[in-house]
Amino acid sequence: MTTEAIRIRGGRIIDPYRGLDHAGEDILIVDGRFATGTEAGKRPVRIIDAQGLWVVPRIVDMHVHLREPGQTHKETIESGSRAAARGGVAVVGAMPNTTPVMDTPELVQWVQWKGDAIGLTRVWPIGAVSRDSASEELADLYRMQEAGAVAFSDDGRPVGSSRLMRAALSYSATLRTPIINHAQDPSLSAGAVVNEGPIGGKMGLAGMPEAAESVMVWRDVLLAGLTGGRLHVAHVTAPESLEALSYARSHHFLVSAEATPHHLLLSEDALQEWGYDPVTKVNPPLRTVSSRRALILAMTQGLVEVVASDHAPHHADEKARPYGDAPFGISGLETLVAGVITALVQPGHMTPLQAMALLTRGPHQALNQPYAGISPGEVADVTLIDPQKSWVVDPARFYSQGKNTPFAGHTLVGDAVYTIVGGQIVMEEGEVLHAGLSNLR
């Protein structure tokens, strides 16, 4: 059967994979791949007018909690895939803190199969570092990688044992697959719910010092140097953590790091806006204004190469609990692209090419996954973005089951208009299309 080809006409092509930012060139997609102008043949061609839009290949959110299996009251792979498609995200890295924990090759295969069957976004499983994420015994990293895991993490729980972290990083040196750690010293962060400082103190909320993060980042960086392993630091926030990353860079260690849009856009001052509403309760917590500025500066200097949402949806009843009892996390897939543009492009901290690299080339390099961008023969994952669109965040309109966001009622700039995955349009003008469009494998 003849399938419809797609021609994207008149957009500004921002392709960090090839380091290109230019306008005017048409893009042709045939049989799920980028093609040359002669390959469409006689088949029907869908024309997309991209005037005024950015055309960005394969946006990746490498830190996403899809919750399934076991926590489907919070999110499912399908609802999370819909949220990703709406947000312009072609690939999600699925974290393993599910029920049961994704610590076996069978669960890795099942999560990937479920994502492929839904067909709205590519789901890349991230297996657990330790069995049941208990930081006591290594999981079977080799077999999970064979089953499709692109990284390993106990995210939500730090790998507290230095001995175990050393072993995991040693494995990663052989497997060439990163270990992603939730950098936090449990003995310094136990019971804490906000940043340690005057604001949290006035509210009577237990505070987490920045040292709880940076102590662990320094440990992991030194272990990466010792083992030659691949380390990725999740959701970095503290200036001292950035110093550790700088040390790793100067010593040529295989270390990468990510920041989240909420840590780039918000500080602990958001607690004064929201009061005791746990919508601001994230882990690591929102930091000081000066720490937020230091993080943005690190992004501009290339010290932090990735932005990821840390999408952590929760049921409304859970987030309605008192601040100390409510779970950590926000629903971030549908505000990821806008968060990057609002935090980094609009204020002039970064060019569009530099900012989009944080969502494209950066995650691919961190995960050691090849992709050639908009090149003939490459798989056609592409997002069209309106960089000028100003919109007010309304979580009631989220496709995610999680409506928990501190951006509710805030104005963001930039929004995905089309999401194309494997040559299939999965989101058009804000509407996610039917699931099961194609087998993404």
Residue 252 labeled ligand binder: no
Per-10-residue mean pLDDT of the chain, 441 residues long, equals: 80 97 92 84 85 98 98 98 98 98 98 96 98 97 98 95 98 97 95 96 97 98 98 98 98 98 98 96 98 98 97 97 97 98 98 98 98 97 98 98 98 98 96 67 52
Residue 271 labeled ligand binder: no
Residue 407 labeled ligand binder: no
Residue 26 labeled ligand binder: no
Residue 66 labeled ligand binder: yes
pLDDT of residue 391: 98
pLDDT of residue 435: 54
Which residue ranges form the domains of the chain, and what is each CATH number?
5-55+377-432 (2.30.40.10), 58-367 (3.20.20.140)
Residue found under tokens 């607690």: 271
pLDDT of residue 1: 37
Residue 235 labeled ligand binder: yes
Residue 328 labeled ligand binder: yes
Active site residue 325: no
Residues with Cβ within 8 Å of 259's Cβ and at least 6 positions away in sequence, in order, are 235, 236, 237, 295, 298, 299, 304, 306, 307, 308
Residue 314 labeled ligand binder: yes
Residue 97 labeled ligand binder: yes
Query: Which residue type, as a one-letter code, is found at position 270?
Result: A
Q: Could you give the C-alpha distances from 290 to 268, 285, 328, in angstroms and in order?
A: 11, 14, 23
Residue 251 labeled ligand binder: no
Residue 404 labeled ligand binder: no
pLDDT of residue 2: 45
Instruction: Check 103, 185, 310, 381 and give the catalytic one.
Output: 310
